[in-house]
Amino acid sequence: MSANDYVKYVTQQIVKYMDTPKEARKQLREERKNVETSSTFYSNRWFGVLPFSLKLMLNKRKK
């Protein structure tokens, strides 16, 4: 990715952000926050994938 492509992308994102109404941005932020907290495990978020993989291995051995 060249520098011009990056500047073009950043400019498009800024213009897109500025064109959306404040209420729509606030609603989108709230939706993203709710989805993020419900779909991820806290251990995965804090410590990475390693605790999640260990948990899966232990559950598999129990069965």
Residue 12 DSSP one-character state: H
Position 27, amino acid: Q
Q: Above 60 in pLDDT, residue 38? A: no
Q: 62: which 2 tokens?
A: 């129990």
Q: What is the average pLDDT across 4-14?
A: 95
Residues whose CB falls within 8 Å of the CB of residue 17, separated by 6 or more in sequence, listed in order: 25
Q: Is the whole model's pTM more than 0.85, yes or no?
A: no
The pLDDT score that the predictor gives to residue 7 is: 95
Q: Where are the domains of the chain?
A: 3-62
Answer yes or no: are the C-beta atoms of 43 and 52 closer than 8 Å: yes
Q: Above 80 in pLDDT, residue 29? A: yes
The pLDDT score that the predictor gives to residue 26 is: 93
